[in-house]
Structure 1
Amino acid sequence: METWIAVVAALAAAAAAIATVVSGRFVRQQVREMRRQTDLQQAIAEGSSSPYVWADVRLQSRNGWNLEFVIGNSGPTVATNVRVTIDPPLPTDHEGAFLEAMHQRLQEGLSSLAPGRTLHWTLGPSPDLVNRSGSLAHRVRIACDGPYGAVAVSEYSIDMADFRESVARHDGSFVDVAREIAALTKKLPEQSKPFRVRLDGEQD
Protein backbone atom coordinates (compact mmCIF):
# COMPACT_ATOMS: atom_id res chain seq x y z
CA MET A 1 0.00 0.00 0.00
CA GLU A 2 2.75 2.39 0.94
CA THR A 3 4.46 1.63 -2.36
CA TRP A 4 1.32 2.51 -4.30
CA ILE A 5 0.93 5.72 -2.34
CA ALA A 6 4.50 6.64 -3.12
CA VAL A 7 3.97 5.92 -6.83
CA VAL A 8 0.79 8.00 -6.94
CA ALA A 9 2.54 10.85 -5.14
CA ALA A 10 5.44 10.71 -7.58
CA LEU A 11 3.07 10.75 -10.55
CA ALA A 12 1.19 13.69 -9.10
CA ALA A 13 4.43 15.56 -8.52
CA ALA A 14 5.53 14.83 -12.09
CA ALA A 15 2.20 15.99 -13.45
CA ALA A 16 2.42 19.17 -11.39
CA ALA A 17 5.95 19.78 -12.66
CA ILE A 18 4.84 19.27 -16.27
CA ALA A 19 1.88 21.58 -15.75
CA THR A 20 4.19 24.22 -14.27
CA VAL A 21 6.56 24.00 -17.25
CA VAL A 22 3.70 24.19 -19.76
CA SER A 23 2.12 27.06 -17.85
CA GLY A 24 5.47 28.87 -17.71
CA ARG A 25 5.95 28.52 -21.45
CA PHE A 26 2.43 29.80 -22.08
CA VAL A 27 3.03 32.78 -19.84
CA ARG A 28 6.31 33.57 -21.58
CA GLN A 29 4.58 33.36 -24.96
CA GLN A 30 1.90 35.72 -23.75
CA VAL A 31 4.51 38.17 -22.47
CA ARG A 32 6.40 38.05 -25.78
CA GLU A 33 3.17 38.63 -27.73
CA MET A 34 2.23 41.54 -25.48
CA ARG A 35 5.66 43.10 -26.00
CA ARG A 36 5.38 42.59 -29.75
CA GLN A 37 1.96 44.24 -29.84
CA THR A 38 3.26 47.13 -27.73
CA ASP A 39 6.26 47.65 -30.03
CA LEU A 40 3.98 47.47 -33.08
CA GLN A 41 1.57 50.04 -31.66
CA GLN A 42 4.47 52.33 -30.75
CA ALA A 43 5.91 52.01 -34.25
CA ILE A 44 2.53 52.83 -35.79
CA ALA A 45 2.14 55.86 -33.51
CA GLU A 46 5.63 57.12 -34.33
CA GLY A 47 5.13 56.50 -38.05
CA SER A 48 1.85 58.41 -38.16
CA SER A 49 3.48 61.33 -36.31
CA SER A 50 6.68 61.49 -38.36
CA PRO A 51 7.44 63.94 -41.18
CA TYR A 52 7.43 62.68 -44.76
CA VAL A 53 10.01 64.52 -46.84
CA TRP A 54 10.10 63.95 -50.60
CA ALA A 55 11.90 65.37 -53.61
CA ASP A 56 10.86 65.49 -57.26
CA VAL A 57 11.50 67.10 -60.64
CA ARG A 58 8.36 68.72 -62.06
CA LEU A 59 7.13 71.03 -64.79
CA GLN A 60 6.59 74.55 -63.53
CA SER A 61 2.85 75.05 -63.37
CA ARG A 62 3.09 78.77 -64.21
CA ASN A 63 4.52 78.15 -67.69
CA GLY A 64 4.41 74.39 -68.37
CA TRP A 65 7.84 74.64 -70.00
CA ASN A 66 10.66 74.84 -67.44
CA LEU A 67 11.60 71.97 -65.14
CA GLU A 68 12.07 72.61 -61.44
CA PHE A 69 13.42 70.64 -58.48
CA VAL A 70 10.99 70.51 -55.56
CA ILE A 71 11.36 69.38 -51.94
CA GLY A 72 8.31 69.09 -49.70
CA ASN A 73 7.07 67.73 -46.40
CA SER A 74 3.73 65.90 -46.61
CA GLY A 75 3.87 64.61 -43.03
CA PRO A 76 2.03 65.97 -39.97
CA THR A 77 5.10 67.21 -38.08
CA VAL A 78 8.15 69.41 -38.68
CA ALA A 79 11.19 67.75 -40.25
CA THR A 80 14.54 68.96 -38.92
CA ASN A 81 18.11 68.51 -40.13
CA VAL A 82 16.87 67.65 -43.64
CA ARG A 83 19.77 66.31 -45.75
CA VAL A 84 19.32 65.62 -49.45
CA THR A 85 22.05 64.28 -51.72
CA ILE A 86 21.66 63.95 -55.49
CA ASP A 87 24.03 61.71 -57.44
CA PRO A 88 24.99 62.81 -60.01
CA PRO A 89 24.11 66.45 -59.30
CA LEU A 90 21.32 67.97 -61.34
CA PRO A 91 22.52 69.77 -64.50
CA THR A 92 23.80 73.29 -63.94
CA ASP A 93 23.75 74.69 -67.47
CA HIS A 94 20.97 77.08 -66.39
CA GLU A 95 21.65 79.41 -63.46
CA GLY A 96 24.53 77.15 -62.50
CA ALA A 97 25.70 79.15 -59.50
CA PHE A 98 22.29 78.93 -57.87
CA LEU A 99 22.03 75.17 -58.38
CA GLU A 100 25.54 74.58 -57.06
CA ALA A 101 24.59 76.52 -53.93
CA MET A 102 21.39 74.44 -53.70
CA HIS A 103 23.32 71.16 -53.82
CA GLN A 104 25.72 72.35 -51.13
CA ARG A 105 22.93 73.61 -48.86
CA LEU A 106 20.95 70.40 -49.21
CA GLN A 107 23.98 68.25 -48.43
CA GLU A 108 24.76 70.32 -45.33
CA GLY A 109 21.12 70.13 -44.26
CA LEU A 110 18.10 72.40 -44.00
CA SER A 111 17.34 73.41 -40.43
CA SER A 112 13.63 72.62 -40.75
CA LEU A 113 10.81 71.91 -43.18
CA ALA A 114 7.31 72.51 -41.85
CA PRO A 115 4.27 70.37 -42.79
CA GLY A 116 2.89 71.35 -46.20
CA ARG A 117 5.91 73.47 -47.08
CA THR A 118 7.67 73.13 -50.45
CA LEU A 119 10.90 74.61 -51.81
CA HIS A 120 11.42 75.13 -55.57
CA TRP A 121 14.50 75.63 -57.74
CA THR A 122 14.33 76.29 -61.49
CA LEU A 123 16.46 73.88 -63.54
CA GLY A 124 15.88 75.28 -67.02
CA PRO A 125 13.92 74.64 -70.24
CA SER A 126 12.60 71.08 -70.36
CA PRO A 127 13.74 70.30 -73.97
CA ASP A 128 17.35 71.17 -73.11
CA LEU A 129 17.28 68.94 -70.01
CA VAL A 130 15.42 65.86 -71.26
CA ASN A 131 17.16 65.56 -74.63
CA ARG A 132 20.70 65.32 -73.27
CA SER A 133 22.78 62.30 -74.23
CA GLY A 134 23.71 59.58 -71.76
CA SER A 135 21.92 58.57 -68.60
CA LEU A 136 19.51 61.14 -67.19
CA ALA A 137 18.88 59.27 -63.91
CA HIS A 138 19.72 60.96 -60.62
CA ARG A 139 19.84 59.03 -57.35
CA VAL A 140 18.18 60.93 -54.51
CA ARG A 141 18.83 60.17 -50.83
CA ILE A 142 16.75 61.92 -48.16
CA ALA A 143 17.47 61.82 -44.42
CA CYS A 144 15.85 63.90 -41.69
CA ASP A 145 14.85 63.93 -38.04
CA GLY A 146 11.37 64.00 -36.55
CA PRO A 147 9.85 64.27 -33.07
CA TYR A 148 10.97 60.70 -32.25
CA GLY A 149 14.49 61.00 -33.65
CA ALA A 150 15.91 59.93 -36.99
CA VAL A 151 13.40 59.06 -39.72
CA ALA A 152 14.08 56.10 -42.01
CA VAL A 153 16.26 57.12 -44.96
CA SER A 154 14.49 57.29 -48.33
CA GLU A 155 16.35 56.49 -51.57
CA TYR A 156 15.06 56.40 -55.14
CA SER A 157 15.91 57.52 -58.68
CA ILE A 158 14.53 60.45 -60.65
CA ASP A 159 15.01 59.89 -64.39
CA MET A 160 14.52 63.00 -66.52
CA ALA A 161 14.18 60.78 -69.59
CA ASP A 162 10.69 59.92 -68.29
CA PHE A 163 9.58 63.39 -69.42
CA ARG A 164 10.29 62.61 -73.06
CA GLU A 165 7.21 62.49 -75.32
CA SER A 166 5.05 63.70 -72.43
CA VAL A 167 2.69 66.64 -72.91
CA ALA A 168 3.84 70.01 -71.58
CA ARG A 169 0.81 71.45 -69.81
CA HIS A 170 0.15 74.94 -68.55
CA ASP A 171 -2.64 74.67 -66.00
CA GLY A 172 -2.88 78.40 -65.39
CA SER A 173 -2.57 80.37 -62.19
CA PHE A 174 -3.65 83.60 -60.53
CA VAL A 175 -0.75 85.28 -62.33
CA ASP A 176 -2.46 84.50 -65.65
CA VAL A 177 -5.73 85.92 -64.33
CA ALA A 178 -3.94 89.11 -63.24
CA ARG A 179 -2.35 89.45 -66.68
CA GLU A 180 -5.71 89.09 -68.43
CA ILE A 181 -7.29 91.67 -66.15
CA ALA A 182 -4.41 94.07 -66.83
CA ALA A 183 -4.79 93.55 -70.60
CA LEU A 184 -8.54 94.21 -70.45
CA THR A 185 -7.98 97.28 -68.30
CA LYS A 186 -5.72 98.79 -70.96
CA LYS A 187 -8.51 98.42 -73.54
CA LEU A 188 -10.97 100.43 -71.44
CA PRO A 189 -11.33 104.17 -72.20
CA GLU A 190 -9.26 106.47 -70.07
CA GLN A 191 -11.22 107.57 -67.04
CA SER A 192 -9.30 110.87 -66.91
CA LYS A 193 -11.01 112.15 -70.10
CA PRO A 194 -14.05 114.36 -69.45
CA PHE A 195 -17.42 112.72 -70.01
CA ARG A 196 -19.65 115.04 -72.00
CA VAL A 197 -23.23 114.79 -73.22
CA ARG A 198 -24.10 116.56 -76.46
CA LEU A 199 -27.35 118.43 -76.90
CA ASP A 200 -28.59 115.83 -79.36
CA GLY A 201 -28.48 113.24 -76.56
CA GLU A 202 -25.43 111.36 -77.79
CA GLN A 203 -22.38 110.89 -75.60
CA ASP A 204 -18.82 111.91 -76.43
Structure 2
Amino acid sequence: METWIAVIASFAAVAAAVATGVSGRFVQQQVREMRRQTDLQQAIAEGSSSPYVWADVRLQSRNGWNLEFVVGNSGPTVAVNVRITIDPPFPVDRGGAHLDVMHRRLSEGLSSLAPGRALHWTLGTSPDLVNRPGSLAHRVHIACDGPYGPVPISEYSVDLADFRESVARHDGTLVDVAREIAALGKKLPDQRKPFLIENRGEDD
Protein backbone atom coordinates (compact mmCIF):
# COMPACT_ATOMS: atom_id res chain seq x y z
CA MET A 1 0.00 0.00 0.00
CA GLU A 2 2.76 2.34 0.90
CA THR A 3 4.44 1.53 -2.43
CA TRP A 4 1.31 2.51 -4.36
CA ILE A 5 1.06 5.72 -2.41
CA ALA A 6 4.69 6.51 -3.25
CA VAL A 7 4.11 5.75 -6.97
CA ILE A 8 0.99 7.93 -7.05
CA ALA A 9 2.86 10.73 -5.28
CA SER A 10 5.68 10.44 -7.81
CA PHE A 11 3.25 10.69 -10.73
CA ALA A 12 1.63 13.71 -9.10
CA ALA A 13 4.98 15.41 -8.66
CA VAL A 14 5.93 14.75 -12.29
CA ALA A 15 2.56 16.02 -13.49
CA ALA A 16 2.94 19.18 -11.37
CA ALA A 17 6.42 19.76 -12.74
CA VAL A 18 5.22 19.29 -16.32
CA ALA A 19 2.27 21.63 -15.73
CA THR A 20 4.51 24.22 -14.15
CA GLY A 21 6.92 24.03 -17.07
CA VAL A 22 4.15 24.36 -19.65
CA SER A 23 2.59 27.23 -17.71
CA GLY A 24 5.97 28.96 -17.47
CA ARG A 25 6.58 28.67 -21.20
CA PHE A 26 3.05 29.93 -21.91
CA VAL A 27 3.60 32.96 -19.68
CA GLN A 28 6.90 33.68 -21.40
CA GLN A 29 5.22 33.49 -24.81
CA GLN A 30 2.49 35.83 -23.64
CA VAL A 31 5.03 38.31 -22.32
CA ARG A 32 6.96 38.24 -25.62
CA GLU A 33 3.74 38.77 -27.60
CA MET A 34 2.71 41.66 -25.36
CA ARG A 35 6.11 43.29 -25.84
CA ARG A 36 5.86 42.78 -29.60
CA GLN A 37 2.39 44.35 -29.70
CA THR A 38 3.60 47.27 -27.55
CA ASP A 39 6.57 47.89 -29.87
CA LEU A 40 4.27 47.65 -32.91
CA GLN A 41 1.79 50.13 -31.44
CA GLN A 42 4.61 52.51 -30.56
CA ALA A 43 6.05 52.25 -34.08
CA ILE A 44 2.60 52.97 -35.58
CA ALA A 45 2.13 55.97 -33.28
CA GLU A 46 5.56 57.37 -34.13
CA GLY A 47 5.05 56.75 -37.85
CA SER A 48 1.69 58.53 -37.91
CA SER A 49 3.16 61.50 -36.02
CA SER A 50 6.35 61.84 -38.07
CA PRO A 51 6.99 64.39 -40.83
CA TYR A 52 6.99 63.21 -44.45
CA VAL A 53 9.51 65.19 -46.48
CA TRP A 54 9.56 64.72 -50.26
CA ALA A 55 11.31 66.29 -53.24
CA ASP A 56 10.25 66.41 -56.88
CA VAL A 57 10.79 68.17 -60.21
CA ARG A 58 7.67 69.83 -61.64
CA LEU A 59 6.56 72.21 -64.35
CA GLN A 60 6.02 75.71 -63.08
CA SER A 61 2.28 76.28 -63.05
CA ARG A 62 2.55 79.98 -63.84
CA ASN A 63 4.14 79.42 -67.25
CA GLY A 64 4.13 75.69 -68.02
CA TRP A 65 7.61 76.06 -69.51
CA ASN A 66 10.24 76.11 -66.78
CA LEU A 67 11.08 73.17 -64.55
CA GLU A 68 11.38 73.69 -60.80
CA PHE A 69 12.67 71.65 -57.89
CA VAL A 70 10.16 71.41 -55.05
CA VAL A 71 10.72 70.24 -51.46
CA GLY A 72 7.67 69.79 -49.22
CA ASN A 73 6.43 68.27 -45.99
CA SER A 74 3.16 66.32 -46.21
CA GLY A 75 3.36 64.94 -42.67
CA PRO A 76 1.50 66.15 -39.57
CA THR A 77 4.53 67.48 -37.67
CA VAL A 78 7.48 69.81 -38.24
CA ALA A 79 10.59 68.35 -39.86
CA VAL A 80 13.88 69.73 -38.56
CA ASN A 81 17.44 69.45 -39.80
CA VAL A 82 16.24 68.55 -43.31
CA ARG A 83 19.22 67.38 -45.38
CA ILE A 84 18.85 66.71 -49.11
CA THR A 85 21.58 65.71 -51.55
CA ILE A 86 21.14 65.37 -55.32
CA ASP A 87 23.53 63.14 -57.25
CA PRO A 88 24.50 64.28 -59.79
CA PRO A 89 23.56 67.90 -59.05
CA PHE A 90 21.19 69.64 -61.44
CA PRO A 91 23.10 71.36 -64.26
CA VAL A 92 24.00 75.02 -63.89
CA ASP A 93 24.13 77.31 -66.92
CA ARG A 94 25.66 80.77 -67.08
CA GLY A 95 22.63 82.28 -65.38
CA GLY A 96 22.02 79.54 -62.81
CA ALA A 97 24.43 80.43 -60.03
CA HIS A 98 21.51 80.22 -57.60
CA LEU A 99 21.44 76.45 -58.13
CA ASP A 100 24.89 76.14 -56.55
CA VAL A 101 23.49 77.96 -53.52
CA MET A 102 20.43 75.67 -53.51
CA HIS A 103 22.55 72.49 -53.58
CA ARG A 104 24.78 73.77 -50.79
CA ARG A 105 21.90 74.91 -48.60
CA LEU A 106 20.01 71.63 -49.00
CA SER A 107 23.06 69.50 -48.26
CA GLU A 108 23.93 71.56 -45.18
CA GLY A 109 20.32 71.29 -43.98
CA LEU A 110 17.18 73.37 -43.70
CA SER A 111 16.46 74.34 -40.11
CA SER A 112 12.78 73.36 -40.32
CA LEU A 113 9.95 72.54 -42.71
CA ALA A 114 6.43 72.94 -41.32
CA PRO A 115 3.48 70.70 -42.30
CA GLY A 116 2.03 71.69 -45.67
CA ARG A 117 4.98 73.94 -46.53
CA ALA A 118 6.82 73.68 -49.86
CA LEU A 119 9.93 75.43 -51.18
CA HIS A 120 10.48 76.02 -54.91
CA TRP A 121 13.63 76.65 -56.98
CA THR A 122 13.65 77.32 -60.73
CA LEU A 123 15.96 74.90 -62.56
CA GLY A 124 15.66 76.36 -66.06
CA THR A 125 13.68 75.92 -69.25
CA SER A 126 12.35 72.43 -69.87
CA PRO A 127 13.82 72.00 -73.41
CA ASP A 128 17.33 72.79 -72.17
CA LEU A 129 17.00 70.34 -69.28
CA VAL A 130 15.31 67.38 -70.96
CA ASN A 131 17.20 67.40 -74.28
CA ARG A 132 20.68 66.96 -72.82
CA PRO A 133 22.71 63.93 -73.90
CA GLY A 134 23.33 61.06 -71.53
CA SER A 135 21.43 60.01 -68.44
CA LEU A 136 19.03 62.55 -66.99
CA ALA A 137 18.41 60.65 -63.74
CA HIS A 138 19.23 62.38 -60.46
CA ARG A 139 19.40 60.44 -57.20
CA VAL A 140 17.65 62.26 -54.35
CA HIS A 141 18.63 61.44 -50.75
CA ILE A 142 16.44 62.88 -47.97
CA ALA A 143 17.15 62.78 -44.22
CA CYS A 144 15.44 64.73 -41.44
CA ASP A 145 14.44 64.59 -37.78
CA GLY A 146 10.99 64.55 -36.25
CA PRO A 147 9.43 64.56 -32.76
CA TYR A 148 10.78 61.06 -32.06
CA GLY A 149 14.25 61.53 -33.51
CA PRO A 150 15.66 60.66 -36.94
CA VAL A 151 13.09 59.76 -39.62
CA PRO A 152 13.92 56.80 -41.90
CA ILE A 153 15.97 57.96 -44.88
CA SER A 154 14.19 58.28 -48.21
CA GLU A 155 16.11 57.74 -51.45
CA TYR A 156 14.86 57.55 -55.04
CA SER A 157 15.60 58.75 -58.57
CA VAL A 158 14.02 61.67 -60.42
CA ASP A 159 14.50 61.25 -64.18
CA LEU A 160 14.07 64.43 -66.24
CA ALA A 161 13.75 62.28 -69.36
CA ASP A 162 10.22 61.48 -68.17
CA PHE A 163 9.21 65.01 -69.20
CA ARG A 164 10.03 64.38 -72.87
CA GLU A 165 7.03 64.52 -75.21
CA SER A 166 4.80 65.58 -72.29
CA VAL A 167 2.40 68.48 -72.72
CA ALA A 168 3.55 71.85 -71.40
CA ARG A 169 0.44 73.22 -69.71
CA HIS A 170 -0.23 76.60 -68.20
CA ASP A 171 -2.93 76.08 -65.59
CA GLY A 172 -3.17 79.73 -64.65
CA THR A 173 -2.70 81.39 -61.28
CA LEU A 174 -4.14 84.23 -59.24
CA VAL A 175 -1.44 86.43 -60.79
CA ASP A 176 -3.04 85.86 -64.19
CA VAL A 177 -6.44 86.79 -62.78
CA ALA A 178 -5.02 89.99 -61.29
CA ARG A 179 -3.44 90.92 -64.62
CA GLU A 180 -6.73 90.41 -66.48
CA ILE A 181 -8.59 92.55 -63.94
CA ALA A 182 -5.96 95.29 -64.28
CA ALA A 183 -6.24 95.18 -68.08
CA LEU A 184 -10.04 95.48 -67.90
CA GLY A 185 -9.72 98.36 -65.48
CA LYS A 186 -7.66 100.31 -68.00
CA LYS A 187 -10.44 99.97 -70.58
CA LEU A 188 -13.12 101.42 -68.30
CA PRO A 189 -13.73 105.19 -68.31
CA ASP A 190 -12.01 107.18 -65.61
CA GLN A 191 -14.61 107.60 -62.85
CA ARG A 192 -12.84 110.69 -61.53
CA LYS A 193 -13.73 112.68 -64.63
CA PRO A 194 -17.25 114.25 -64.81
CA PHE A 195 -19.61 112.94 -67.43
CA LEU A 196 -20.09 115.42 -70.26
CA ILE A 197 -23.77 115.87 -71.17
CA GLU A 198 -24.26 116.87 -74.74
CA ASN A 199 -26.21 120.16 -75.04
CA ARG A 200 -29.17 119.42 -77.31
CA GLY A 201 -31.80 121.80 -78.63
CA GLU A 202 -35.02 122.69 -76.79
CA ASP A 203 -37.09 120.68 -79.21
CA ASP A 204 -35.37 117.59 -77.92
Q: TM-score range by the shorter chain?
A: over 0.9
Summarize the alignment of residues 37-76 of structure 1 with structure 2, pairs less than 5 Å apart: 37-76=37-76
Distance 1:2 1:117, change over 3 A: same
| Deviation of 1:125 (Å) | 0.7
Residue 174 of structure 1 corresponds to which residue in structure 2? 174
Aligned-partner Cα distance in 2 for 1:176–1:64: 13
Summarize the alignment of residues 17-166 of structure 1 with structure 2, pairs less than 5 Å apart: 17-93=17-93, 95-166=95-166
Distance 1:10 1:100, change over 3 A: same
Q: Verify the 8 A CA contact 1:79 1:113 in the aligned structure 2.
A: yes
Aligned-partner Cα distance in 2 for 1:98–1:72: 19
Could you list the per-position Cα deviations for residues 123-149 of structure 1 after superposition, in whole angstroms to 9, with x for gaps in the alignment? Answer: 011111111110000000000000000
Q: Unpaired runs of 5+ in structure 2? A: none
| Partner-residue secondary structure (3-state), 2:144 | strand
Q: Verify the 8 A CA contact 1:94 1:124 in the aligned structure 2.
A: no
Q: Verify the 8 A CA contact 1:88 1:138 in the aligned structure 2.
A: yes
| Deviation of 1:162 (Å) | 0.4
Question: What percentage of aligned pairs have identical amino acids?
Answer: 81
| Deviation of 1:194 (Å) | 3.5
The root-mean-square deviation of aligned C-alpha atoms, in Å, is 1.2
| Deviation of 1:200 (Å) | 2.5
Following superposition, which runs of at least 4 residues in structure 1 exceed 4 angstroms of deviation? none
| Deviation of 1:15 (Å) | 0.5
Amino acid at match of 1:90: F
Amino acid at match of 1:127: P
Distance 1:94 1:26, change over 3 A: farther
Distance 1:95 1:21, change over 3 A: farther
| Deviation of 1:94 (Å) | 6.1
Distance 1:188 1:94, change over 3 A: farther
Aligned-partner Cα distance in 1 for 2:8–2:196: 127
Give yes or no for the alignment of 1:15 onto 2:27.
no
Q: Unpaired runs of 5+ in structure 1? A: none
Q: Say how many residue pairs are matched.
A: 201
Q: TM-score, normalised by structure 2?
A: 0.95
